[in-house]
Structure 1
């Protein structure tokens, strides 16, 4: 199915550096892959609905709704050492040079 030159060309296009031994291994593997694809082509799929995904896909995320637990917020504020009123002061992320 595949010649050594075919494999070398595929390797070059893929920017892979393969040895002569690997070239022969890939030639055999690519051949068996194509044989398998040929077998799949023979399967009768008439009347079988097309699939977008092999398994059902559904959104499992919760809705994005803001919620405030005032007790939790108050505890966090109390534990934070550097604060100004209702604001928490953190270390600078960007320097003035940037």
Structure 2
């Protein structure tokens, strides 16, 4: 399988990209190099290799929930530029 210049032009048009002639030629060459490398994978003997969705066995990667003490309101507002009635005071963004 190989990519032709017309394929790159078609994809560029779909993506609304304006490519120069040099970019079009460069992308055609680069995409063909990627496909050639991918075709090398067909040379590998994969008999007896189970299909997988991921190369590493994954289990729940979430950490355990641990209840910790919270900051006091005083600690929270210590670095705040302004505070009013226990809330951060910020400039109005709407009229």
* Fold equivalence (TM over 0.5): yes
Q: Residue 90 of structure 1 aligns with which residue? A: 87
Q: Residue 55 of structure 1 aligns with which residue? A: 56
- Does residue 25 of the first structure (1) align with residue 23 of the second (2)? no
Gapped runs of 5+ residues in structure 1?
82-87
Measure how far apart 1:28 and its partner are: 1.0
Name the Cα RMSD after superposition: 3.2
The Cα offsets for residues 21-71 of structure 1, whole Å up to 9 and x where unpaired, read as 011111111111111222212322111112221223233433335455xxx
Q: Structure 1 residues 36, 64: closer, same or farther in 2, change over 3 A?
A: same
Query: In the aligned structure 1, how far is the partner of 2:73 from the partner of 2:18?
Result: 58
Q: Structure 1 residues 40, 3: closer, same or farther in 2, change over 3 A?
A: same
